[in-house]
Amino acid sequence: MRFLTAGESHGPQLTVIVEGLPANMQVDIEKLNEEMYKRQGGYGRGRRMQIEKDSVEIVSGVRHGYTLGSPITIVIKNDDFTHWRNIMGAAPISEEAQSEMKRVITKPRPGHADLVGGLKYQHRDLRNVLERSSARETAARVAVGALCKQLLQQLDIDVYSRVISIGGVSDKAHYDIEDIIQNVDKNDVRVVDETIAQQMRDKIDEAKQEGDSIGGVVQVIVNHMPVGIGSYVHYDRKLDGRIAQSVVGINAFKGVSFGEGFTAGEKLGSEIQDPILYDETTGYYRASNHLGGFEGGMSNGMPLVINGVMKPIPTLYRPLASVDINTKEPFKATIERSDSCAVPAASIVCEHAVTFEVARALLEEFESNDITILKQQVDARREQNINF
């Protein structure tokens, strides 16, 4: 399975083509849209999300609610385009109109792709860079992940996400999956504990008042994963490795870890490996899950636990020093509309990025032209975990 996204932040639409999902899989468009709306929410988002209503339109590959096995095309309209029609249109414009055109950007923002992207692609209007490097693209990645989530649900695999920390305020406690399911969607910072949620909101308000932005850590959990997805035989088939690439490919993500992650480096071997046990009805399992469900780049049957860190968004109302590319003079002041914190939304993006990679690996592992045949094979693998 593969996908390609296209679209600029203030262009007419985002488009995604997904190829490789099995045929005869039920697709629930309302549920797809629920995931899309979740990404738009979260405390600390800016005004853009009041303009957009990200609902998907499927224009190929699904008929009467079921996949055909052919490429699926999803369109997400940018409602903000009505304000940008002249600036973002595809047709050529006169030189005069070009010189009068507002919103030409020559002042790169530190931490964004602006300067390096302009230099690399020879764009002297840095808008040509930021329109694509914008996190608007993550809406398309959520649409793909939401389709894959419906596939996983039909294979009894569930994916959840939550926020672990924002601006240093943490909710690192270990919760049962049920607690996570019951609480995070009710909460605009996507944490389980409401007291911590309020501390996070205060932290976001504080940053916003100071014209600053704030980052954090998110966690994704994949439950009821069959054993042996991914492979130890080559680095580029390791499922954790693929997930790492996908997560760090999300705008502003600077790192990824699995299970106990970097703290593993501080522990003894006996403290971090998960002892193997056996139960007659469920088969092999681990006494703990320090490794986050991965051994040798393969799922070991325990829940997958993936953590991702998002840096604070670089668009600041209190800008940092930079240099105008026309005058080469220092400046300190372009104010762009922005979010002060997008960590809750990023947890949804991360959830869907992981979902895609898990689905992709499953479809590689098993014969997957048809959903029923795929299900039979996944069930057979679960049986193997008992019979082996």
- Give the nearest distance from C-beta 9 to ligand EPS in angstroms: 6
Q: Which two tokens stand for residue 302?
A: 């325990």
When asked if residue 338 is in the footprint of ligand EPS (CB under 6 A), the reply is yes
- Give the nearest distance from C-beta 371 to ligand EPS in angstroms: 31
315 annotated ligand binder: yes
45 annotated ligand binder: yes
- What size, in residues, is the chain? 388
When asked if residue 20 is in the footprint of ligand EPS (CB under 6 A), the reply is no
When asked if residue 9 is in the footprint of ligand EPS (CB under 6 A), the reply is yes
When asked if residue 337 is in the footprint of ligand EPS (CB under 6 A), the reply is yes
Report the 3 state secondary structure along 256-300.
EEECCHHHHHHCCHHHHCCCEEEECCCEEEECCCCCCCEECCEEC
Tell me, residue by residue from 110 to 139, as one string, x for binding to ligand EPS by CB under 6 A and - for no binding.
------------------------xxx-xx
Q: Which two tokens stand for residue 28?
A: 């629930």
| Adjacent-strand bridge partners of 162 | 219
- Give the nearest distance from C-beta 32 to ligand EPS in angstroms: 16
Binder of ligand EPS out of 219, 315, 322, 347 (CB under 6 A)? 315
318 annotated ligand binder: no
Q: Whose Cβ is closer to ligand EPS: residue 139's or residue 207's?
A: 139
Tell me, residue by residue from 269 to 288, as one string, x for binding to ligand EPS by CB under 6 A and - for no binding.
--------------------
Contact criterion met (CB below 8 Å) for 307 and 258: yes
- How many amino acids of this chain bind ligand EPS (CB under 6 A)? 13
Q: Is 113 left (phi over 0), alpha (psi -120 to 50) or beta?
A: alpha
Q: Whose Cβ is closer to ligand EPS: residue 224's or residue 318's?
A: 318
134 annotated ligand binder: yes
Contact criterion met (CB below 8 Å) for 172 and 298: no
Contact criterion met (CB below 8 Å) for 39 and 348: yes
CA–CA–CA angle 121, 99, 317 (5° rounding): 70
Tell me, residue by residue from 245 to 264, as one string, x for binding to ligand EPS by CB under 6 A and - for no binding.
--------------------
Burial class (CB in 10 A: 0-12, 13-18, 19+), 117: middle
Residue 315, phi then psi, degrees to nearest 5:
-75, 115
Q: Binders of ligand EPS among 21-50, rule CB under 6 A? A: 46, 48
Q: Segment contacting ligand EPS (CB under 6 A): 148-156, 272-280, 337-345, 378-386? A: 337-345
CB within 8 A of 16, min separation 6: which ones? 3, 4, 5, 6, 73, 74, 76, 140, 143, 144
Q: Segment contacting ligand EPS (CB under 6 A): 164-172, 226-234, 263-271, 332-340? A: 332-340
Q: Binding residues for ligand EPS, per CB under 6 A?
A: 9, 46, 48, 134-136, 138-139, 315, 336-339
Binding-site residue set for NADP(+): 39, 45
